[in-house]
Amino acid sequence: MKLDERRRAIATDVLLGAGMFIVSLASVTVWDPGDSTSRPTDNWAYVLIGMQTLPLIWRRRAPVPVLAITIIGFLIDRGLNYPGSWAIFGISVAIYTVGAELEPRRSLLIGGITIDIVLLWTLVGVFVYDVELLALVSEIAFLGFPLLVGRETYHRQQRMVALESRAIRAELEREQRAAEAVVQERTRIARELHDVVAHEITVMTVQTAGAGRVLHDRPDEASQAMEAAEAAGHRALTEMRRLLGMLRTADPAAIAPQPGLETLDALVEQMNSAGLPVTVAIEGDARPLPVGIDLNAYRIVQESLTNTLKHGGPNVSARIAVTFADSSLSLEVTDDGRGAAAGVGGNGGQGLLGMHERVALLDGTLNAGPRPGGGYRVVARIPIPA
């Protein structure tokens, strides 16, 4: 229970106990002073009225002791035959509180014992004070009904607590999923930045280096190389703007189309102009792929060719084989370079790691390593949903 709710509950119980005490005093002194057969109201009668009402101030903090005190006050009050008062309602409130605050089995036990004691005492009154037997029925209703209402209140409170707990757990899970989504999105964007920007910068570096070597002997080729480097720089800037736009907007119309296997020709042409001859072989029934598979397949091929361009050495060539099966897509990128690809996974490189992450997200497999006869080979198999 929160602090404000606890304070309100305490204030309510103080008003309840004090109010019932005052009303009960008035019931025997003003409204119903008793009859000739009752014991005259004296100070002890007021004490017994106080025992049946004032302990209700602590009813939520100590429900069982409060019930015990009110019952003792009631039994003594009835035994001494003081005039009837409204203090008897204190017992109903106390037994209701036992049902509402205690575990059901314990509240039923305590409530049952209380009702038995009151019934037994009332039965004694039948023989001693000529109390009517109908009083037994009224005592059962007077005590049993509040107990049942209290138990229902307890069950309702428990249901509310369970609902609140589920709501809190759902909120925590939602926040956790949101945090995980942020991490995954950052990872995806980092992977996109690496695949795109690193690829274009590699092309720029290779073209610029080639232009520098042939600048004096073959200025026309140097000029073409510089133009290719400039084009690669423009493409890198375009991709950077696209990725930053994805971070700033959730509007799909503001995001440029993603590359896919249908744009392999442009990638091959780019690699050829960068000095890496590439051939492409398509096997099987080529067909449109889901966007996620299409984009990641393109990025895997792009990263493989970028690694070949960076680490394959001079006079290297590459081959791309794309195989469409009924339920899977296979990608194979091979080259005849040095076969070490030293920078793929070492020295801070993220290329091979990024490819593994992409394939893992698609429930596929990826194998990469030097070829026995020389060169390097990357093979990815990605399942295609029906």
Give the pLDDT of the chain (386 residues) as one tens digit per residue: 566 778 888 888 899 889 989 988 888 876 555 555 667 888 888 899 999 999 999 998 899 999 999 999 888 887 787 877 888 888 889 999 999 989 888 988 998 898 888 888 777 766 666 656 666 777 778 888 888 998 898 889 888 888 888 887 787 777 777 777 766 766 766 666 666 666 677 777 877 887 777 777 788 777 887 877 777 777 777 666 666 665 555 444 444 567 889 889 989 988 888 888 999 999 998 888 887 788 889 989 998 998 888 888 888 999 999 999 988 999 999 999 876 544 444 444 567 887 888 888 788 999 999 988 788 999 999 998 76
**Do residues 154 and 104 lie in contact, with contact meaning Cβ atoms separated by under 8 Å?**
yes
The candidate with the shortest Cα–Cα distance to 386, out of 266, 289, 245, 259, is 289
What's the CA gap between 115 and 286, in Å, rounded? 83
Residue by residue, what is the 3-state secondary structure of 269-328?
HHHHHCCCCEEEEEEECCCCCCHHHHHHHHHHHHHHHHHHHHHCCCCCCEEEEEEECCCE
Q: If DSSP codes are grouped into helix, strand and coil, which group holds residue 329?
A: strand
* Backbone phi, psi, residue 383, to 5°: -70, 145
Instruction: Report pLDDT for 254.
Output: 44
Question: Residue 276 pairs with which residues in a beta bridge?
Answer: none
What's the CA gap between 213 and 145, in Å, rounded? 100
Q: Would strands 278-284 and 318-324 be described as parallel, antiparallel, or unpaired?
A: parallel
Tokens of 352: 């091979």
Sign of the dihedral defined by the CA atoms of residues 246, 248, 253, 255, in that order: negative
Count of residues in the chain: 386
What's the CA gap between 358 and 292, in Å, rounded? 10
Residue by residue, what is the 3-state secondary structure of 60-87?
CCCHHHHHHHHHHHHHHHHHCCCCCCHH
Instruction: Report pLDDT for 344.
Output: 44
Q: If DSSP codes are grouped into helix, strand and coil, which group holds residue 332?
A: strand
Instruction: Report pLDDT for 132.
Output: 65
Q: If DSSP codes are grouped into helix, strand and coil, which group holds residue 248?
A: helix
68 to each of 53, 73, 98, 110, 222, how far by Cα in Å? 12, 9, 11, 10, 102
Sign of the dihedral defined by the CA atoms of residues 320, 321, 324, 327, in that order: negative
129 to each of 122, 199, 232, 239, how far by Cα in Å? 10, 104, 109, 99
Quick one: fold of 259-386?
A: Heat Shock Protein 90 (3.30.565)
Instruction: Report pLDDT for 339.
Output: 65
Instruction: Report pLDDT for 340.
Output: 53
Q: Where are the domains of the chain?
A: 3-131, 259-386
Extended beta strands in 17-126, E state: none
DSSP 8-state secondary structure symbol assigned to residue 187: H
